Amino acid sequence: MKLVLFALHGYLELFKKRGQKTLFEYAKKENFETFMEKGRWGYLLLDKTIEKSYFKFLLPDSFFPGHSFLRALKYPIPSKKNDLFFLCKFVSALENKIIETEVSLNLKEKQKLIEEIKKGNKNNEFYVYEKDIILKISKDLPLLENNFPNKIRDKNFDEIKFKNEQFEEINAIMTNSFKILNLHPINKIRIDLNEPVANFLYLYGMGKFSEKLVFSDKIGKDTFYFSDSETLEGLRIFLNIEKIDKFPNIKNRSFYWFNFALNSKETPSIWVKNFETISKNILRQLTLSEDIRFLFIFDPFMDENYEYEKLSSIFLSVNFVRKQKKKYKNPSVLFKSFLE
């Protein structure tokens, strides 16, 4: 059996009503209509973040090494046993309270602010990239979760600190950043321009070093991955799934994972056109035969640094052996059914 998964990130937006119709109803569905005729629609309850959602879809939650470790795999960051990782984001604070979580900074500004913080944290390693800032610490601590930045607005410092006493050093990095960055020249300029200051470094998405897995061994199939974004590249690397850069002929005893992502900054009309392109050009290359099983997932995720409310994604299953349930609260149950 050949397995083909389409993860359509952000495409849940197409199913939200705008006036009397949804965008999905407006969209042309050339080729996709054939899959709809043969398939069964249902609902899938994913997690609050894209990386954890698809990890839990494919593997047990207990294997999850944390968002920051998966993100670190995308970059040339060396790692070893007992290394800890945190995602970092500059936010605005006033009088020990977070007042703004969306602070637009370019790469050079991020680098200069991190350089200032590193002066008091010489034993810790910061890696600054266009999309991610990652902190690496060589220390053995329990893996804890905290809120993503979009959930901390209007919170006091005490509310966003880690409660475990072993995390005193981690909490100190955050609180000390507020003392260090307030008077930084970059923030003085931002005040003059009436822009939100970047005076607090928030640490979240904790991860721990973990040995990579061989996903093909776990499911007994050759595995391949195609994506139009780098969003889940770290998860692909962690699972040792082979990356392909063009649409292939589907091989026997294989699992293909295709990722397509919408951009929240684009207009709904562009979202519709993106779906129509997949429907017309991509699906045209796939044969709907009995020896290929398809699963389409329309999820809400447009930003990997955003924690979404838990809501049901929509799926379409085609050629499954057993009849699908209407709703799946546990995503791994649907994946197991996909593998059967």
175 and 298 in a common domain? no
81 shares a domain with 204: yes
Give the helix, strand, coil percentages of the chain, each rounded to 5.
35, 25, 40
For 15-30, how does the pLDDT look when each residue is reduced to its tens digit (9 = 90+)? 998 888 999 999 999 9
What was the pLDDT predicted at 119? Answer: 86
140 and 34 co-located in one domain: no
Spatial contact of 248 and 267, defined as CB atoms under 8 Å apart: no
pLDDT, tens only, 177-234:
999 998 899 999 999 999 999 999 999 999 999 999 999 999 999 999 999 999 999 9
User: Is the domain of 47 the same as that of 95?
Assistant: no
Average pLDDT over residues 228-257: 93
pLDDT tens track for 310-340: 889 999 999 998 888 999 999 999 999 999 8
**Residues 110 and 44 placed together within one structural domain of the fold:** no
In a shared domain, residues 124 and 107: yes
Amino acid at 223: T
Residues 197 and 230 in one domain: no
Q: How high is the pLDDT of residue 227?
A: 96
How many residues are listed for the chain in this entry?
340
What is the predicted pLDDT for the residue at 124?
86
Distance from C-alpha of 61 to C-alpha of 59, rounded to nearest angstrom: 6
Determine the pLDDT at residue 217.
97
Query: Which residues touch 234 (CB under 8 Å, ≥6 apart)?
Result: 51, 69, 70, 71, 72, 73, 74
User: Is residue 240 domain-shared with residue 284, that is, in the same domain?
Assistant: yes
Q: Specify the pLDDT at position 242.
A: 97
Q: How confident is the model at residue 290 (pLDDT cuts 50, 70, 90)?
A: confident
Domain stop point among 160, 176, 208: 208
Q: Which tens digits make up the pLDDT trace of 37-64? A: 999 999 999 999 999 999 999 999 999 9
Clarify whether residues 88 and 181 are in a common domain: yes
What is the average pLDDT across 82-96? 96
Identify whether residues 75 and 193 lie together within a single domain: yes
Of 16-30, 112-126, 148-162, 255-269, the range with the lowest mean pLDDT is: 112-126
- pLDDT, tens digit, 9 for 90 and up, residues 106-138: 999 999 999 999 987 777 899 999 999 999 999
Q: Which residue among 208, 242, 257 closes a domain?
A: 208
Looking at the fold, whether 34 and 93 belong to one and the same domain comes out as no
- The mean pLDDT of the chain is 95
**For 240, which DSSP code?**
T
Last residue in a domain, options 159, 182, 208: 208
Mean pLDDT computed over 233-261: 93
Look up the CATH number of the domain holding residue 334. 3.40.720.10
Using a pLDDT cut of 90, give the percent of the chain over it. 88
The range of the structural domain enclosing residue 306 comes to 2-64+211-339
% of the chain at pLDDT higher than 70 = 100
- Is there a single domain that holds both residue 202 and residue 218? no
What 8-state DSSP symbol labels residue 14?
G
Contacts (Cβ under 8 Å, ≥6 apart) of 146:
160, 162, 204, 206
What is the pLDDT, as a whole number, of residue 240?
A: 98
What's the structural domain count of the chain? 2
244-267: average pLDDT: 92
